[in-house]
Amino acid sequence: MIRTLTLSPALDIGADIARMRPFSKLRSGPARHEPGGGGINAARAIHRVGGEVCAVFPADAATGERLLTLLAGEDVPAVRVPADTPVRESLSLWVREQQETYHVVTPGGDLDPVAAQACVGALLESSAPVEWVVLSGSLPPGVETDYYGRVARAAGERGVRVVLDTHGEALVAALRSPVFAIKPNLREFGELVGERLVAEDRAGIERAARTLMARAPLEVLLLTLGPHGAMVTTSDRCHWLRAPTVRTVSAVGCGDSFLGVFTQAVASGRTPVDAARLGIAAGASAACTPGSALFVADDLERLEGEALTEPRVPT
């Protein structure tokens, strides 16, 4: 059983228009409504590849019920923790003439400490055994910076492994606690290690990764690099994975697809490198879908074959 936590859930709305024009009424095609937020999308991805999962999130009654209905439409089990927090709305607009996606996200509200603590109970205190938890997304206002770290410690005391996808101070604070894996992108990783890194400087990235692994209670570093692929760092070495070549329609949902599929694969017994290869395939498939839509499961086997392990850079 995998459980995911999304402290900043969202109602995702996707649409497309012919062209972008200022001071004009822009008429779109039919809108697509999907449940969103990092952990919710990870849960959808896990379910899509056959995993047993439950998504936990705080939300007000009205929008929270809407998210539960959308998740039920995909057969994804979920638990809404009652809160007065307004749910964010996220608009992904595909402009056909420009072949570009615009992504607009409204802010969410404060999450009170009582609801934040109730989320921990809903995540870890379950009648069904929980073996893995995915903590994904930014912390909403009102939640202390070390929240994910406290959740990770509570999970560790129960023998539950943690996969974490966040950034900034929340990530720094969380890495004071044992975590199985983190999944920053290159900008987030550079902020974490205090260096300006570029994808072409593989030797510099490896040095920074090894330094982090030596000082943090961390088993796997998943560094996603977009079209440059990914680097998986374990206790013994760094592994570079090539990104499949696809025509990108939208980058929304790629990271969440990677995260969910990686977690399900490693929980099912795959090595972290093999699990990351399947995660890259999911991210590449998601890049081909409009708006916040996730990957197409039938694409994974083909795209996984393109996510080859590349030679390690000399040191």
| Residue labelled with tokens 């990271």 | 255
Quick: pLDDT tens for 23-37: 889 898 888 899 999
The yes-or-no verdict on residue 313 having pLDDT over 70 is no
pLDDT tens per residue across span 180-232: 999 999 999 999 999 999 999 999 999 999 999 999 999 999 999 988 889 99
- Show which residues are catalytic: 256
Q: Degrees (nearest 5) of the Cα angle 307, 71, 128?
A: 85
User: In this predicted structure, what is the pLDDT of residue 143?
Assistant: 94
Mean pLDDT, rounded, of the chain? 91
Task: Note the pTM of the prediction, 2 decimals.
Answer: 0.91
Task: Give the pLDDT band (50/70/90) at residue 305.
Answer: confident
Render pLDDT for 164-173 as a digit per residue (tens, 0 to 9).
999 999 999 9
Of 152, 195, 58, 105, the residue nearest 166 (C-alpha): 152
Q: Is the dihedral of CA 28, 31, 32, 35 positive or negative?
A: positive
Q: Which two tokens stand for residue 234?
A: 């374990």
Full DSSP string of 142-167: TS-TTHHHHHHHHHHHTT-EEEEE--
pLDDT tens-digit series, residues 235-285: 889 999 998 888 877 777 889 999 999 999 999 999 999 999 999 999 989
The reported pLDDT for the residue numbered 311 is 59
